[in-house]
Structure 1
Amino acid sequence: MPRKTVPIKTLLLRIFVPAVVLVSMLLALFVYNWLYSTIIDGFDQKLTTTSALTGVLIDPADHDRLIHAAFAQEDADVVEQSPPYLRNVIPIRRIRSKLDLTYLYSQVAGGSQDVTYILDGSEGDDHSPIGSEDDLSDMTMEGLDNAEAGKGIYVSPIEYQEQWGLLKTALAPVYGSDGQITATAGADVNISVIQVATQNTLFASALIGIGSILACLLVALMIVRRVAEPIEALKDDALKFAAGNGHASSLAAGPREVSRLHDALAALAKKMGVATAARQRAAAKHENDADSALLLKDARRNGERIIYLTERDGARIFWIPGGDQNVETALASRSMVRLVERFSTNPALAKHWRRLADKNHGACLVVNDRQRSIELVGNADVTIRRDGRELSLNPELPMVFDAAVDVLRIATGGYQSLAKGQVQ
């Protein structure tokens, strides 16, 4: 059973397309991870800067009084309308709104729960009144302790908080009027904000992936075309050469190895074409020489022959070969024999003997026995021998001639007698 062959273009596409798709997917995944890391780093820097700025903007003396009011469980509504609270919370609200943060606040560790909120930039249902308490995750609580201990700003990973959902938090120290860290400023961003940015990143990655696939496919098709088409052209040339067609088509462009192989095949095809043409010319020459030899042999055999064409108005018309004994003369003799056969089957045709006789390779003799004259029609070397004398016969000039006595000598043969009854 013969093996199934696969076109080279199909084979190359089977190799390139999966590779292109895989590379594009890996590129899209790399871009997504890189953009996602960039987004997270951006939020980290944003939260770090905002929490630190908030901690610096809070007035230490006002914040100390507010901490005392919170732990003294004073009326939250009254405290939040006091000048110390408003002086500090209004800038926090503006920063939160301007930076599109979810929460921006200050808090103190302690109370019946993990932390007690002091300032809160949120408004509406999300607002935490002063003195509100909350529990934090162990990781966030550890970060808060480190921040209050002066170990730097803490930034949490994205984590779930039961009351607030998925958040990313940054905690920076807040100093009191005595110069000591008394609280922390927190900046939170909800995961929904990060998700929107992540979705945009995912969409950008998808576009990059699709663009990469299209670009890689275009490059792959160009590579396949540059590699496959010269090979296919080379294959076609090889098949034509194997079939006996020595012509090789021109290769516009292609890999260096294919071009070299094509040039070698073209040179071989040219060499074989030259050899074939030489053999054909030799064979034709040999055949022509053989035909010429046969014709020359026939010409030498019939060179002295005078052909009797017809008789018109009491005169006998003969055709004699003229010039050298060559192929043309031999062919002319044969045609005159065929003409005599035509005259015999169609006597009416004989009256046109002047026009039909070949006067290029011979001439006609008109012999009138009653008038004892002879006339040469055409050009030929004809001599009359009479009483030992040689008389040249001139074209279109009748001459006295006694067929019973006189003989002719023609250039292609010896002496011939035109006596009636001897040449028919």
Structure 2
Amino acid sequence: MLRDASPIKTLLWRTFTPAIVVLAIGLGGLVYTRLYDTILDGFSRKLVTTSALTGALIDPADHDFLIQAASVRAPAESVEAMPQYLRNVEPMRRIREELDLTYLYTQVLGGLKDVIYILDSTVGDEHSLLGSEDELTEETRAGLRRTTEGGPIYVSPIEFQEQWGLLKTAAAPVKDRSGKIVATAGADVNISVIEVATQNALFASALIGLASLMASALVTFLIVRWVAAPIERLKAEALRIAAGDPAPPADTAAPKEVRRLRLALAELAARLTADMREAWSRTKAEDRQRDEALLTQSLPPAAPVVLTRDKVGAVVWRPSDDGLEARLEHRAMVVLAGRMADDPKLAGRWRDLAVARRGLVSAEAGA
């Protein structure tokens, strides 16, 4: 047993809905990816610009003095109270706060670990004292070495550093009084700052995905109406014609294929109407012939009828044939003869009363 077929609207929605969802998700994902890349690129540019600016603002003589103090392990607190440290670190602190950076500092390669911190704009528990050492990832260490050797400004990916967590770093060269690169100015941003911007991007991409979903649903609704509604109307017209209504389908706006179907249905309706009329005419003719045959068989054969008689002669109706009309006229003449026999006055008016169409009424002498 065949199951009932689904309506055309349901089939169209089943077809388009997965495509709409995939389109919305794909568009949202694409927007998020582009926004995320743009955010990272923006942070990279920000870090590059900040580190380069910091490296250019630092006084080479002061920085050489601080590097020398760190190398001889001078008391960090005392050195950081000196003018050489303060007049360089205070602009760095303002830059870090205004640009919402996590860390802004200078460092030199070497020491017992990987780098030695010189200037650090951070205050509080996370402040690295002059001469503090730190270990870096292999990729960052290699990048700082390339920058120190005259390479481009190093920009790291988002990477985990054991002491500081997930960071994105840029390092620009810092030169001494002779113009030689001896250190790097580092600018860091924590992943939490990037995550806030990323969450905003995710929210924006979600809104764009939702907007695209709604727009796609609206377009699909219009397509369903444009395609399904004419098909449903055509189906109703076909059922109406099948029920016997010969009127052609209404001419309404529809896709080209539906218009072709409607034209074919109109031609079919015209043929059905012609066939019905022909069948009806044929049936009526057959019924008439059958009725005539039955009626002819039920009537006696047409024979001459004496309508009235007197001493001179008689008035006689004689049939012209033995068909149905002649037999009906014969019956009528028999009835008329009986009425004339009962009413002699009628007999005198036989010329007016005995009007024959399938026979001949005549007065015959001596009949």
TM-score normalised by structure 2 residue count: 0.77
Residue 147 of structure 1 is matched in structure 2 by 147
Residue 35 of structure 1 is matched in structure 2 by 35
Alpha-carbon distance between aligned partners in 1 of 2:113 and 2:151, rounded to the nearest angstrom: 23
Q: Which residue identity is paired with 1:167? A: L
Q: Deviations over 1:358-402 (max 9, x none)?
A: xxxxxxxxxxxxxxxxxxxxxxxxxxxxxxxxxxxxxxxxxxxxx
Equivalent residue of 2:166, what SS?
strand
Q: CA deviation at 1:64?
A: 0.9
Q: CA deviation at 1:412?
A: 4.4
Any residues of structure 2 matched to 1:3-82 within 5 Å, and which?
3-82=3-82
Q: Which residue identity is paired with 2:234? A: L
Residue 222 of structure 2 is matched in structure 1 by 222
Q: CA deviation at 1:30?
A: 1.5
Alpha-carbon distance between aligned partners in 2 of 1:225 and 1:237, rounded to the nearest angstrom: 17
Any residues of structure 2 matched to 1:339-354 within 5 Å, and which?
none
Alpha-carbon distance between aligned partners in 2 of 1:321 and 1:189, rounded to the nearest angstrom: 132
* Percent of residue pairs bearing the same amino acid type: 53
Residue 236 of structure 1 is matched in structure 2 by 236
User: Is 1:170 aligned with 2:170?
Assistant: yes
Q: Deviations over 1:185-210 (max 9, x none)?
A: 00000000011111111112222222
Residue 263 of structure 2 is matched in structure 1 by 263
Greater length-normalized contact order (CA 8 Å, ≥ 6 residues apart): 2
Equivalent residue of 2:2, what SS?
coil
Alpha-carbon distance between aligned partners in 1 of 2:61 and 2:326, rounded to the nearest angstrom: 142
Contact 1:303 1:321 in 2 (8 A): no
Alpha-carbon distance between aligned partners in 2 of 1:24 and 1:306, rounded to the nearest angstrom: 94
Q: Based on CA coordinates, which of the two structures has the bigger radius of gyration? A: 1
Change (3 A) 1:174 1:19: same
Higher helix share: 2
Q: Deviations over 1:34-59 (max 9, x none)?
A: 11111111111111111111111111
Q: Which residue identity is paired with 1:77? A: E
Residue 136 of structure 2 is matched in structure 1 by 136
Q: Which residue identity is paired with 1:131? A: G
Equivalent residue of 2:188, what SS?
strand
Alpha-carbon distance between aligned partners in 1 of 2:140 and 2:271, rounded to the nearest angstrom: 87
Alpha-carbon distance between aligned partners in 2 of 1:321 and 1:267, rounded to the nearest angstrom: 60
Residue 86 of structure 1 is matched in structure 2 by 86
Equivalent residue of 1:227, what SS?
helix
Q: Deviations over 1:254-276 (max 9, x none)?
A: 22111111112113213432553
Residue 330 of structure 1 is matched in structure 2 by none
Q: Which residue identity is paired with 2:29? A: L
The alignment covers a number of residue pairs equal to 325
Residue 106 of structure 1 is matched in structure 2 by 106
Alpha-carbon distance between aligned partners in 2 of 1:116 and 1:82, rounded to the nearest angstrom: 19
Q: CA deviation at 1:99?
A: 0.7
Q: Which residue identity is paired with 2:250? A: S
Gaps of at least 5 residues in structure 1 are 309-315, 324-409, 414-424
Residue 350 of structure 1 is matched in structure 2 by none
Contact 2:172 2:184 in 1 (8 A): yes
Equivalent residue of 2:51, what SS?
helix
